[in-house]
Chains A and B, each alone.
Chain A
Amino acid sequence: MNRNYILLLLFLVVSCTKDLELSYEKSDQTMVVNCLFSENEAWKVTLTRVKSYRDQSDTYIDDASVLIVPENNDTIHLVYFKDGIYGSDEKPISGVQYRLVVRDSKGNTITAKSSIPLEPIISDIKPSTQRTTYFSNANLSDYTVMPLSFRISANDSANFVRFCFFAFNTKWGYTRYMVTKETISELRKLDFPEAYLGELEKLIGVSMSSYVYFTVIREISEKYELPSNGLGIAVSKLKEKKVTTRYEDSFQSGYLFSNSIGFNNVSKDIWNVLGEYSAEKELTLFVTDVPVLNKGSQTNFKEEYWLEVTGMSEDYYKYEKSYIKQVNNLDNPFASVIEVYSNLTNGVGIFAGYNSQMIHYHDY
């Protein structure tokens, strides 16, 4: 008898499971408002309703009145575009307090207030390529990292910030990929299933980075029985296009850690460092060494190191922190329920201002 039988026997003796039918809430009409605004983008508010897990897609609200009321200025009326999105050509201005007023056709009113904080100033950046080991107490794991020191300004009595680390590979980053009609016809000749080709057809004309495209194609390919080396063949049939712009999806996200007081990874997260501070601070972050490993000794391209610094309103900070906690605790059956923060009265979601800057601080 091996140990599995013993454990199974023990399990059967002392435990049992059964399905439950409880009258928990399976439907809800609570309105969801999603709007993170910055000076770089025009107003865009998405309205949906809370949905059941069973529903495949969101219920969009297309008949609401959406107003943005700036302090000391004229009200902005947002117009409906599609998929629950309401927008305007006007852009928010930093430092101005905005009030959102949403009224749906059922007479429900949702309000929220926020503003774009002043941008934090990062100075005295001192990157290091000296590798060191960072021990994550939350994950009980070691990571090989490189330190990054800098100073951050304080604009207010309470400042909130998020840091993320990205690498941009100059060899792959300037190449875009897309599915074309030729891709489909060539794969058809190679006896690829029609259902598979149907899914690929939906991507025709969509330009993506290699990282994203290969992931998307792989996920689709795994669902079908393809000819031998089907994934490799499908990828080879994508159309390549060289560009000179660094597209957002061409940046590769890396692990980022902090052991400075007030600046931490939330829960078991290893991608974001969130900070709350009241005076100018000098801090050290630790970035993953994966880009260095990618490059190795090759000299025909660069790995650019970028630090994304997001100045957050307090509401955005609370939302982000609770969101990270929720996602990172869903794998823990004993964890208490985590509610994601919302600053909306009579609804859920977020209406909050932020600013964002990408700092190119080092090339490897």
Chain B
Amino acid sequence: MRFITILTLFFLSFSTIAQQKRTISGYVTDAQTGERLYAASVYEQNSGIGTISNRFGFFSLTLKEGVANLKISFVGYQPQTKIINLSADTLLMFSLKSDNKLDEVVVKGNRNSKLADNSKLGHVKLSAKELAKLPSLMGEKDVMKSLMILPGVQQGSEGSSGIFVRGGSPDQNLILLDDVPLYNVSHLFGFVSVFTPEAINSIDFYKGGFPARYGGRLSSVVDLRMKDGNKNKRETSINLGLISSQFTTEGPIKKGESSYFFSVRRTLLDLIFKGVAKVAQKNMEEQAIPSYGFYDINGKINFRLNERNHLYLSFYSGKDNLSFEYSDHLKSTEKEETQKTSGALNWGNVMTALKLNSQLNSKLFVNTTLSGSIFNYGNLFNGNTETIVGSDISKNNFSLEYQSQIRSLGLKTDLDVYSKSNLPFQIGLFANVNNYLPGKQKVARNEGTDENSSGEISSLDYGVYLDKKITLGDKLSFTVGLRNAFYSIRNQKTYFAAEPRFSMTFISNENTSYQASFAKMTQPIHLLSNGNVGLPTDIWVPSTKLIRPETSDIFSAGMKKAIPSGIKLSMEAYYKRLNHVISFTEGDGILNVDQNWEQKITVGNGRAWGVETEARYSNSKLESWIGYTLAWNDRKFDDINKGRWFPYQYDRRHKFDLGIIMKLNNDWSASATWTYQSGAPATYSGLDYSGFPNNLNNETTDFFTGKPINSDRIQYYPSINGVRLPAYHRFDIGFTKEWERYGKKKALSISVYNVYSRQNPFMVYAKTKPDGTIGLKQFSLFPVIPSISYRISF
């Protein structure tokens, strides 16, 4: 109650202030689609006062009474100017028309140098248009892969869409789709992410300097906004690719006011696999039918309730399903036996969000979101054997079912409050109810059924945040924020986290700025990985009485400089401290699901530091960039490496990124990217010593050689992750032709992945050579892969 009173007084104070000046508020939209534009610049040219539209296209600009010469601009759109005589608070709508120039791939803030301070350290904004220009893997553009070309962002193993940001692990990335967190965001074991590029309107990526509205993860935020749908015209497109094909349709429900968006993407691999296998094995007694399929469905509708209120309802559902069927029929004079085996592995997210945008007055914008989501992972294995001997029929049945699940329900309110200084103040409240089922396993066979479960854990996360920008003169500005969160685990414990956020910008001249930031982050959820390769079988577990939330302290400082020739330079150094990170104790995994899973976990610390540099050049026909990252990344657990620091699994010292996108003519554009990452650390040793095997298992066999393992010898590892694997590098190119004929837009994309067919290490294993010595063998995925996709829109 006290808080609400203070809040009310706070807002009333702004009403008083507003009487001395006049406020222009409103929305910036795309003239063609009616979509609201985020981060558009609204700038009064005489006074040099400006602001930027928020995530819903809303802006509020307070100016002195009189003539205002406004310029509204947004990257990829034709700027618009408007002169008005400002004598009262005014509501304005601006619709910008798209230009045909080549857009920058990665936009940091705004091209207007006077607003350069809005470009925060560690923040990158990417639009769907920019994403569409990048080369693809087998015809698939990918949102997550587009982030991997940025300094400080690494990819995991070959093909994986999990990103490792400044020494963090994939679970430390907060991935939001229309403000709802998603968990495993990979299809095809990580080769493609779940985000259909054509359904995404914009991506905000933060690797440092986090606004206080974000929390719950330690290392990065990937905030994706789904397209609202074209409010003016119905559009349908069909995209045919090697991995998947998609259908998208959008259009007005009520022209200019309300719209819908619907997209469905589905792989064709399952049909190909099944079809080929069935034809090849026709009339065979033994049949093995593999299948892999995935789909994504995105939907969104939005309604203009009135001039100041807008309602959005978005929906996403995606699922992967890997399955196989095996059958065999054996017949002899003595007996007849039929074997049928089937297995399925599936995982996916379902989410829905209802948002209400309200402009309460010219200085106060409120967004309220009610959301729900379910992440589900499960597998099912069935094996049935029927044996007939004479008149006796015996049946042997076995089935294994495993399930892991997270269900969440969330409510949050975000308020953007604008003051006379045109520096917005953000405040918000949030609450989430989460139910975790780390693992439940059911095994049924002739003898009976056994069930094991980790038990379900419920938690309530709630809190408040605020962010405020302060300026000291023209050159120095600060953003200070605080996020206070309570993580209450039902019947166990409540953790409180106070997370201060701070960033500072000093603009020495209109082309150079220096910045520094600090953020404390807390993560109440953890990902337990089974091994060295990221699999959907990795499970999410909450903090409990025994397992504290993970925390991080992230410091960063850097500079940005624009050179008159059009080159933009940036350099940033960071240091990240991680506390209470968890890992399975060596050799433990989730296969033994039981109530004691917390006992199998070890808690430790991490540290990461490095320097990131980038140079970027763009003109109307060309966009190019070069990035370099020098980084260190260590972990320390009492139970691992004798309690000493060791390089983290994805500690890569150097990373280079080169890229170029060119508009060749009116129809054709070309792109090329080259990435290099120094080798990842790994643990191998050709050493052993004698042990006391006592009553040890002597039936274990080496996975690769099939030979029995000598249990008398202990494998000796002088250090964990003490060996460096070969470097990862790859060159991709792509060509896109876009043309229009008979009112239909068409696009043809041809791309080549890994042009020089580099064999990058996916997995390395020890193997005995013919001469008896131990050698290491590397297993690689993806040699050179050409691909093609075709899209038609009407």
Min distance, Cβ A47 to any Cβ of chain B, angstroms = 11
Determine whether A142 belongs to the interface, using a CB cutoff of 8 Å to chain B: yes
Given the known interface contacts A2-B281, A164-B695, the answer about A22 and B724 at a Cβ–Cβ threshold of 8 Å is yes
Determine whether A243 belongs to the interface, using a CB cutoff of 8 Å to chain B: no
Most central of B284, B532, B584 by chain A CB within 10 Å: B532
Interface residues of A in 318-363 (CB under 8 A from B): 319-320, 322-340, 348-350
* Cross-chain contact A339 with B280 (CB below 8 angstroms): no
Q: Which of chain A's residues has its CB closest to B641's CB?
A: A339
Determine whether B689 belongs to the interface, using a CB cutoff of 8 Å to chain A: yes
* Cross-chain contact B531 with A335 (CB below 8 angstroms): yes
Q: Which of chain B's residues has its CB closest to A6's CB?
A: B280
Which residues does chain B contribute within 8 Å of A326, judged by CB atoms? 587, 714-715
Segment at the B interface, from A49-57, A109-117, A172-180: A49-57
Which residues does chain A contribute within 8 Å of B452, judged by CB atoms? 137
Task: Report the separation of the CA atoms of residues A54 and B535 in the bound assembly, to the nearest whole angstrom.
Answer: 34
Task: Report the separation of the CA atoms of residues A164 and B777 in the bound assembly, to the nearest whole angstrom.
Answer: 38
* Cross-chain contact B592 with A18 (CB below 8 angstroms): no
A53 interface neighbour in B287, B450, B686, Cβ under 8 Å: B686
B692 interface neighbour in A36, A142, A322, A328, Cβ under 8 Å: A36
Which residues does chain A contribute within 8 Å of B281, judged by CB atoms? 2-3
A334 interface neighbour in B533, B594, B716, B775, Cβ under 8 Å: B533
Number of interface residues of B (CB under 8 A): 83
Residue-wise, chain A 20-36 has the 8 Å CB interface mask toward B (1 for contact) of: 11111111101010101
Given the known interface contacts A2-B284, A18-B777, A334-B532, the answer about A25 and B722 at a Cβ–Cβ threshold of 8 Å is yes
Which residues does chain A contribute within 8 Å of B692, judged by CB atoms? 34, 36, 319, 323, 350
Interface residues of B in 747-794 (CB under 8 A from A): 759, 761, 763-765, 772-783
Given the known interface contacts A34-B690, A337-B717, the answer about A332 and B531 at a Cβ–Cβ threshold of 8 Å is yes
Which residues does chain B contribute within 8 Å of A320, judged by CB atoms? 694
Determine whether A8 belongs to the interface, using a CB cutoff of 8 Å to chain B: no
Determine whether A210 belongs to the interface, using a CB cutoff of 8 Å to chain B: no
Given the known interface contacts A22-B776, A54-B772, the answer about A334 and B683 at a Cβ–Cβ threshold of 8 Å is no
A137 interface neighbour in B450, B693, B779, Cβ under 8 Å: B450
Task: Report the separation of the CA atoms of residues A269 and B587 in the bound assembly, to the nearest whole angstrom.
Answer: 12
Task: Report the separation of the CA atoms of residues A91 and B175 in the bound assembly, to the nearest whole angstrom.
Answer: 63
Task: Report the separation of the CA atoms of residues A267 and B59 in the bound assembly, to the nearest whole angstrom.
Answer: 60
Determine whether B566 belongs to the interface, using a CB cutoff of 8 Å to chain A: no
Which residues does chain B contribute within 8 Å of A28, judged by CB atoms? 687, 716, 718
B703 interface neighbour in A6, A36, A332, A337, Cβ under 8 Å: A332
Which residues does chain A contribute within 8 Å of B763, judged by CB atoms? 333
Determine whether A67 belongs to the interface, using a CB cutoff of 8 Å to chain B: no
Task: Report the separation of the CA atoms of residues A270 and B700 in the bound assembly, to the nearest whole angstrom.
Answer: 12
Min distance, Cβ A138 to any Cβ of chain B, angstroms = 5
* Cross-chain contact B697 with A22 (CB below 8 angstroms): no
Q: Tally inter-chain residue pairs, CB-CB below 8 A.
A: 213
Which residues does chain A contribute within 8 Å of B322, judged by CB atoms? none
* Cross-chain contact B687 with A15 (CB below 8 angstroms): no
Residue-wise, chain A 264-294 has the 8 Å CB interface mask toward B (1 for contact) of: 0001111110000000000000000000000
Determine whether B277 belongs to the interface, using a CB cutoff of 8 Å to chain A: yes
Determine whether B723 belongs to the interface, using a CB cutoff of 8 Å to chain A: yes
B531 interface neighbour in A1, A25, A336, Cβ under 8 Å: A336
Determine whether A195 belongs to the interface, using a CB cutoff of 8 Å to chain B: no
* Cross-chain contact B691 with A34 (CB below 8 angstroms): yes
Task: Report the separation of the CA atoms of residues A23 and B725 in the bound assembly, to the nearest whole angstrom.
Answer: 10
Determine whether B441 belongs to the interface, using a CB cutoff of 8 Å to chain A: yes
Min distance, Cβ B698 to any Cβ of chain A, angstroms = 9
Task: Report the separation of the CA atoms of residues A342 and B714 in the bound assembly, to the nearest whole angstrom.
Answer: 11
Determine whether B530 belongs to the interface, using a CB cutoff of 8 Å to chain A: yes
Given the known interface contacts A322-B587, A327-B709, the answer about A20 and B443 at a Cβ–Cβ threshold of 8 Å is no
Which residues does chain B contribute within 8 Å of A23, judged by CB atoms? 723
Interface residues of B in 579-596 (CB under 8 A from A): 584, 586-589, 591-594, 596
* Cross-chain contact B781 with A329 (CB below 8 angstroms): no
Min distance, Cβ B394 to any Cβ of chain A, angstroms = 16
Given the known interface contacts A16-B780, A20-B726, A339-B586, the answer about A268 and B697 at a Cβ–Cβ threshold of 8 Å is yes
Q: Which of chain B's residues has its CB closest to A54's CB?
A: B773
Q: Which of chain B's residues has its CB closest to A32's CB?
A: B689
Q: Which of chain B's residues has its CB closest to A139's CB?
A: B591
Which residues does chain B contribute within 8 Å of A138, judged by CB atoms? 591-592
B687 interface neighbour in A5, A19, A25, A329, Cβ under 8 Å: A25
* Cross-chain contact B775 with A330 (CB below 8 angstroms): no
Which residues does chain A contribute within 8 Å of B722, judged by CB atoms? 24-25
* Cross-chain contact A267 with B587 (CB below 8 angstroms): yes
Q: Which of chain B's residues has its CB closest to A163's CB?
A: B695
Which residues does chain A contribute within 8 Å of B288, judged by CB atoms? 3
Min distance, Cβ A346 to any Cβ of chain B, angstroms = 11
Number of interface residues of A (CB under 8 A): 72
* Cross-chain contact A2 with B280 (CB below 8 angstroms): yes
Determine whether A58 belongs to the interface, using a CB cutoff of 8 Å to chain B: yes
* Cross-chain contact A253 with B686 (CB below 8 angstroms): no
Task: Report the separation of the CA atoms of residues A272 and B533 in the bound assembly, to the nearest whole angstrom.
Answer: 30
Determine whether B696 belongs to the interface, using a CB cutoff of 8 Å to chain A: yes
Task: Report the separation of the CA atoms of residues A54 and B276 in the bound assembly, to the nearest whole angstrom.
Answer: 46
* Cross-chain contact B688 with A53 (CB below 8 angstroms): yes
Task: Report the separation of the CA atoms of residues A334 and B683 in the bound assembly, to the nearest whole angstrom.
Answer: 12
Which residues does chain A contribute within 8 Å of B457, judged by CB atoms? none
Determine whether B701 belongs to the interface, using a CB cutoff of 8 Å to chain A: yes
Task: Report the separation of the CA atoms of residues A142 and B443 in the bound assembly, to the nearest whole angstrom.
Answer: 10
Min distance, Cβ B249 to any Cβ of chain A, angstroms = 34
Determine whether A159 belongs to the interface, using a CB cutoff of 8 Å to chain B: no
Residue-wise, chain A 160-186 has the 8 Å CB interface mask toward B (1 for contact) of: 000010000000000000000000000
Most central of B452, B717, B774 by chain A CB within 10 Å: B717
Determine whether A133 belongs to the interface, using a CB cutoff of 8 Å to chain B: yes
Q: Which of chain B's residues has its CB closest to A268's CB?
A: B697
A336 interface neighbour in B587, B691, B696, Cβ under 8 Å: B587
Given the known interface contacts A58-B690, A339-B640, the answer about A20 and B778 at a Cβ–Cβ threshold of 8 Å is yes
Given the known interface contacts A28-B687, A32-B690, the answer about A54 and B774 at a Cβ–Cβ threshold of 8 Å is yes
Given the known interface contacts A2-B280, A271-B695, A331-B709, the answer about A17 and B778 at a Cβ–Cβ threshold of 8 Å is yes
Which residues does chain A contribute within 8 Å of B592, judged by CB atoms? 137-138
Min distance, Cβ A195 to any Cβ of chain B, angstroms = 19
B686 interface neighbour in A14, A52, A269, Cβ under 8 Å: A52
Determine whether B711 belongs to the interface, using a CB cutoff of 8 Å to chain A: yes
* Cross-chain contact A15 with B780 (CB below 8 angstroms): yes
Given the known interface contacts A269-B697, A349-B689, the answer about A330 and B709 at a Cβ–Cβ threshold of 8 Å is yes
Which residues does chain B contribute within 8 Å of A331, judged by CB atoms? 700-703, 709
Listed in ascending order, the chain A residues whose CB lies under 8 Å from chain B are 1-3, 5-6, 14-28, 30, 32, 34, 36, 46, 48-54, 58, 133, 135, 137-138, 140, 142, 164, 253, 261, 267-272, 319-320, 322-340, 348-350
Q: List 10 A-B contacts (CB under 8 A).
A: A3-B287, A3-B288, A17-B778, A20-B775, A20-B778, A25-B722, A52-B687, A53-B774, A269-B696, A339-B717
A25-B686, A48-B689 given; 20 more Cβ-contact pairs under 8 Å: A18-B759, A18-B777, A18-B778, A19-B775, A22-B723, A27-B687, A36-B692, A54-B772, A58-B690, A135-B450, A140-B443, A164-B694, A267-B587, A326-B714, A332-B531, A333-B703, A335-B589, A336-B587, A348-B689, A348-B714
5 closest Cβ contacts across the A-B interface? Answer: A334-B531, A325-B587, A338-B587, A337-B683, A20-B776
Listed in ascending order, the chain B residues whose CB lies under 8 Å from chain A are 276-277, 280-281, 284, 287-288, 400, 441, 443, 445, 447-448, 450, 452, 530-533, 535, 584, 586-589, 591-594, 596, 640-642, 683-697, 700-704, 709, 711, 714-718, 720, 722-726, 759, 761, 763-765, 772-783
